[in-house]
Amino acid sequence: MAFDIEMIKAVYAKYPERIAAARKVVGKPLTLAEKILYAHLWEGNATQNFERGKSYVDFAPDRVAMQDATAQMALLQFMQAGKEKVAVPSTAHCDHLILAQNGAKEDLKSSLTASGEVFNFLESVSNKYGIGFWKPGAGIIHQVVLENYAFPGGMMIGTDSHTVNAGGLGMVAIGVGGADAVDVMAGMAWELKFPKLIGVKLTGKMNGWTSAKDVILKVAGILTVKGGTGCIVEYFGEGAQSLSATGKGTICNMGAEIGATTSTFGYDESMARYLRATDRADVADLANEVKEHLTGDDEVYANPEQYFDQVIEIDLSTLEPHINGPFTPDRATPVSQIRAEAEKNGWPTKVEWGLIGSCTNSSYEDLSRASSIAQQAVDKKLKTKADFGINPGSEQVRFTADRDGLLKIFEDLDATIFTNACGPCIGQWARTGADKQEKNTIVHSFNRNFSKRADGNPNTHAFVTSPEMVAAIAISGDLGFNPLTDKLVNAEGEEVTLDPPKGDELPEKGFAVEDNGYQAPAEDGSDVVVKVNPESKRLQLLEPFAPWNGQNITGAKLLIKAFGKCTTDHISMAGPWLRFRGHLDNISDNCLIGAVNAFNEETNSVKSQLTGEYGPVPATQRAYKAAGVPTIVVGDHNYGEGSSREHAAMEPRHLGVKAVLVKSFARIHETNLKKQGMLALTFANEADYDKVKEDDTINFLDLDQFAPDKPLNLEFVHADGSKDVIVANHSYNDAQIGWFKAGSALNLIKAQQKG
């Protein structure tokens, strides 16, 4: 399994010339993010001083990474692109479709039976088109990427919003939809609006119970779930250099929860140590040769307010452990205040489960620090009062942790060791009793805690914290437990305290693994046949979406006016629906079933203007489509936050929705809608959201004049005959309007391929 050393050499060879040219154009010192972006401009691009937040720019990423749930749709699209092989190094990772239920061995065996058809499809497509394949059980995509592929100064895109994890090794790594991945794998330019820049200065050094997770939990509380939208977050300062590479990865990973395009750190000794520990000494040596280009300029960090659009400063020496939630990852509470907050808000303080893992916190260091708390519990004759589960991040982490006795410590505390996979973090958790929908509390080291996400129960109050805090709270069984000050009573009735966690940044004996789960593709995949059974319930070959007819859309009806938070989980749920990620028609039966209808404040209940009756969203929309009636969706702020899943755009497109009109979009979802040939529009006046009525008929007045920087006018005809003309803004450029006219970006690629 090569990590493309020649590609890395080629990337670094461009840095001196590209950055020198950028300095002349920009006319000032450069941040790390700017250096990486300018170094990865698409060949032939004229170097210019791109306007942050406004200029659309073409880039040439170095590699692509795909997880199994999203890879299905990405590769189904790539199969239509007419290419014999991917143009850049690409990998597919089987980590989402493994249910956490009984423990690693049984769960992995069950997943191979339940999802074997999908795994076989991904394996054969990977083999045919030159894509590296990571088998089920190999590990969580972002941990595997950090261990094997991430490198300082590189640019990567991935079909998962937490692709940003690779910022822990100094990459600009960005989550995208599958159609964007197809562009890059097909050898085409990848387009991104040039991001604004947020600088986070870290001073001091962490101590005691504080961990890297608390940095991003604090930042999330400051910026909220939409404060990073359209921005790259760059961490710097003495505090940043004191963090481990995997700790940096944790911070970057959860940057997805503030809407950031990505987050990154400058190259330093911790990254070099991690590269050498993971058998990439030659990458560290190459990075050292250009290290002045792999971090921001000294002037930038000395006077950050002059170079960043926003600056935040956090003193690690005084940072307190945080517990964020419930129901949103930006509700940040220091541990010293959590009991009072719980009592004030009626949150259950009895903790039912403590879960450690996910792509955010499943490194060796994470398990090491959490196991030190578990060992104390064993030594001090404490038992967990909550159920306890562990998901190692990769087979390499699992094997090494097992060799070093870390897993046995957890097992001595009656923890269940689940598969090296996402598991409960993305709803792949067969939690006993979840169907009763009882009000309860869980704590985990994951990144997201939206309603229903972990176990499908809307009454599960999920809280996000560090692995060591999860261990402590699982032992106490009490959400309000503060290990910095509180005592516990052991089996002999003695009062005991937990000492601060200790752990190893890297394993003292080095990493080890017998089979890391990697499978290289065939040198020549031309003879590989990819078969999809037409009767399959899991996989379905794609049919091109119809192009725009060039006329105004008239007589459209309102499908739903979504109220409040509407994430991709609300638009296209995960959990049991993951099994349909490769079958567009079947998964469309979950379209918008989690969105709250503004008119009755219920989910999956909308009024049909064909019958006047209320019914499920997908069935109502299918009836509109069958009747030839176009529809639109209306939404609130930050519509489509969360996962990169393009199913949230493809499902309404497949079912016949023409446009989505909202107060504001999350970045990835807006792009996904554009790629699939839909209209992604925002209210010019947010107050016009209130003018949209349940029985409205909508007419586009000037879509036939669709052009960049020209708002669209939509006429809303109300049931009483009155009308409101609502002005809708958009961010489409000429190329993106071409996608809309062609019916999708993929349609345009195919047309261009044919010449």
| Cα–Cα distance for residue pair 198/207, rounded to 1 Å | 25
The sign one gets for the Cα dihedral 338, 340, 341, 346 is positive
Please report the beta strands in 618-711, taking only residues with DSSP state E, as ranges in sequence order.
631-635, 657-662, 679-683, 697-700
Does 273 qualify as catalytic in the annotation? Answer: no
Q: Which residues contact 106 (CB under 8 A, 6 or more apart)?
A: none
In the block, which residue shows the tokens 């990154």? Answer: 264
> In this structure, are residues 637 and 566 in contact, taking their beta carbons and an 8 Å threshold?
no
Does 643 qualify as catalytic in the annotation? Answer: yes
Catalytic residue among 160, 183, 366, 696: 160
Residue 722, judged by CB atoms within 10 A of its CB (0-12, 13-18, 19+), counts as exposed
Residue 527 in 3-state DSSP? coil
Does 4 qualify as catalytic in the annotation? Answer: no
637-to-266, 283, 662, 745 alpha-carbon distances in Å:
33, 42, 7, 26
In the block, which residue shows the tokens 């789960």? Answer: 517
Does 366 qualify as catalytic in the annotation? Answer: no
Residue 535 in 3-state DSSP? coil
If residue 344 lies in a helix (H) or strand (E), which one and from where to where? helix 338-345
Residue 145 in 3-state DSSP? helix
The sign one gets for the Cα dihedral 222, 224, 229, 233 is positive
Biggest CA pair distance of the chain: 80
Does 637 qualify as catalytic in the annotation? Answer: no
Catalytic residue among 4, 62, 95, 297: 95
Catalytic residue among 40, 444, 581, 645: 645
Q: SS3 letters for 543-557?
A: CCCCCCCCCCCCCEE
Catalytic residue among 18, 40, 93, 96: 96
DSSP 599: T
In the block, which residue shows the tokens 């008929």? Answer: 697
| Cα–Cα distance for residue pair 130/128, rounded to 1 Å | 6
| Cα–Cα distance for residue pair 183/740, rounded to 1 Å | 16
Catalytic residue among 368, 371, 643, 664: 643
344-to-330, 338, 340 alpha-carbon distances in Å:
18, 10, 6
Catalytic residue among 162, 293, 448, 538: 448
Does 96 qualify as catalytic in the annotation? Answer: yes
Point out the residues that are catalytic: 95-96, 160, 448, 643, 645
